[in-house]
Structure 1
Amino acid sequence: MRRFITLILFLCCISYSICDKCNVPPEFWCSSPEIAAKCEVTRQCQSYFSTQLRQADMVNFTLYFESNCPDCKNFFRSQLSPNYEKLSGIMNLTLVPYGNAREQKSGSGKWKFTCQHGKEECIGNLIETCAIHLMKNISSYFPFISCIENDQFAEPQDSAEKCAKKLGVDFKSIKECTNSDLGNKLEHEMAVRTDALSPPHKYVPWVTLNGVHTEDIEQQAEKDLVKLICGAYKGSDKPAICGEIKTTRRCYRY
Structure 2
Amino acid sequence: HRLLLVLSVLLPLAVGQQVNVTIFTESQCPYCTKLMREQLWPFYITQPGIMNLQIIPFGKGDCQYDYNRNFACTCMHGPTECDLNRLQNCAISYFPRRHLGLVTCIQGLGTLREAFSRCLSRLSPRTQQKLIECSTTQTGELLNYYSMVNTHRTGVKIWPTAYVNGVFFDRSYPMAQKICENTDYC
TM-score range, shorter chain: 0.7 to 0.9
Structure 1 counterpart of 2:95, one-letter code: M
Deviations 1:93-123 (A, max 9, x none): 1111101122222122222111111111000
Structure 2 counterpart of 1:188, one-letter code: Y
Q: What is the match of residue 182 of structure 1?
A: 139
CA distance in 1, matches of 2:134, 2:33: 24
Deviations 1:181-218 (A, max 9, x none): 32222221111111110xx11110011122232xxx22
Written as runs of structure 1 = structure 2, the 5 A alignment for 1:13-24 is none
Distance 1:153 1:147, change over 3 A: closer
CA distance in 1, matches of 2:14, 2:178: 22
Whether the 8 Å CA contact 2:28–2:109 is kept in 1: the answer is no
Q: What is the match of residue 170 of structure 2?
A: 218
- Larger relative strand fraction: 2
CA distance in 2, matches of 1:204, 1:154: 18
Structure 2 counterpart of 1:189, one-letter code: Y
| Equivalent residue for 2:74, pick from 90, 105, 114 | 114
Q: What is the match of residue 84 of structure 2?
A: 124
Q: What is the match of residue 59 of structure 1?
A: 19
Structure 2 counterpart of 1:155, one-letter code: T
| Structure (1 or 2) with the larger CA radius of gyration | 1
Structure 2 counterpart of 1:148, one-letter code: I
Structure 2 counterpart of 1:191, one-letter code: M
Q: Which runs of 5+ in 1 are unaligned?
A: 1-52, 243-254
Displacement, 1:130?
0.7
CA distance in 1, matches of 2:106, 2:23: 15
CA distance in 1, matches of 2:112, 2:173: 25
Distance 1:130 1:65, change over 3 A: same
Bigger relative contact order (CA 8 A; separation at least 6): 2
**1:142 and 2:92 aligned:** no
Displacement, 1:67?
0.7
Structure 1 residue ranges, 4+ long, deviating more than 4 angstroms after superposition: none
CA distance in 1, matches of 2:21, 2:61: 21
Q: Which runs of 5+ in 2 are unaligned?
A: 1-11
RMSD over aligned CA atoms reads 2.1
CA distance in 2, matches of 1:54, 1:104: 44
Query: TM-score, structure 1 length as denominator?
Result: 0.62
**1:86 and 2:36 aligned:** no
Whether the 8 Å CA contact 1:66–1:204 is kept in 2: the answer is yes
Identity %: 28
CA distance in 2, matches of 1:226, 1:136: 22
Query: TM-score, structure 2 length as denominator?
Result: 0.82
Structure 1 counterpart of 2:15, one-letter code: A
Deviations 1:137-191 (A, max 9, x none): 32xx211111222xx56335413421111x3253221111123332222221111
Q: What is the match of residue 70 of structure 1?
A: 30
Count of matched residue positions in the alignment of Structure 1 and Structure 2? 172
Structure 2 counterpart of 1:95, one-letter code: I
Q: What is the match of residue 203 of structure 1?
A: 158
SS at match of 1:89: coil
